[in-house]
Amino acid sequence: MSESSSPRGEFGGRVALVTGAAQGIGEAVVRALAARGATVAATDRAAAALTESVARLTGDRDPAGGPIVPYPLDVTDGDDVTRTVDRVERELGPVDILVNVAGVLRTGPALDLTDQDWSDVFAVNTTGVFHLSRAVVTGMAARGSGSVVTVASNAAGIPRSGMSAYAASKAAAVAFTKCLGLEVAARGVRCNAVCPGSTDTPMQRALWDGPSGPRRVIEGDAAAHRTGIPLGRIADPEDIAETVVFLASDRARHITMQDIYVDGGATLR
């Protein structure tokens, strides 16, 4: 459906499924898509937090926006993903937009990570992307259209001290998304990645050590081989959501297999 024929906003008549929707970037993506008319299936394994988020977003939503429907989902469970996607498409309609946001972080020196740390990070950040993409893109390809946006991290493209599992999992998610995009391009499905830098989310705040945390992130840490942020600010979740929305839209109809860095210049790309 083209933008001009959308009955209600840019994404009117379209169904979007967003993982990791209970907070942070995921919640911002849900808000942005619904504001533009999409019917949004908001998913997260934190069922109570998801219910609260959807209630909050629904209360703040423009009456002209699309509905937001919560679906508890564990992206690490392939069977749960298949059941939930089937339910979403049965209740809301075929999924036109998939946004993979769900992610977890385990920090520490690479040589100190446990098998469980490594497994937990890859189960959500990489295997979760595979599970959702397999379940959703099969239908997109059969219908001849669709857009997938995977929210990764700028750590996918630059080494980070103490973040080896996270960086590796996000790099794998980006590579998978691009490979998928190559395979389904001829069937009208676009697959892109957004790579945020430091963003004001609960995950980011957990890394801060006291009130000086934000300043230290912006200034960088030479001892940890980490550059600062040239634009001089930490991103808001909405900064990332706006990039996701653009890539999901018809405005980006000729963009696929790309990874877009939204990090204020932190990786100097």
- Residues labelled as active-site residues: 166
Long-range contacts of 198-201, Cβ-Cβ distance < 8 Å, separation of 24 or more = 198/229, 198/234, 198/235, 198/263, 198/266, 199/24, 199/25, 199/234, 199/235, 199/236, 199/237, 199/239, 199/240, 200/234, 200/235, 200/236, 200/237, 201/23, 201/24, 201/25, 201/237
Contact, 121 vs 165, CB < 8 A? yes
Quote the distance between the C-alpha of residue 240 and its chain's center. 9
Counting Cα atoms < 13 Å in the Cβ hemisphere of 13 gives 9
Nearest to 255 by CA among 268, 240, 266, 245: 245
Strands (DSSP E) found in the chain: 15-18, 39-44, 68-72, 97-100, 146-151, 189-196, 259-262
Tally: H helices and E strands in the chain: 9, 7
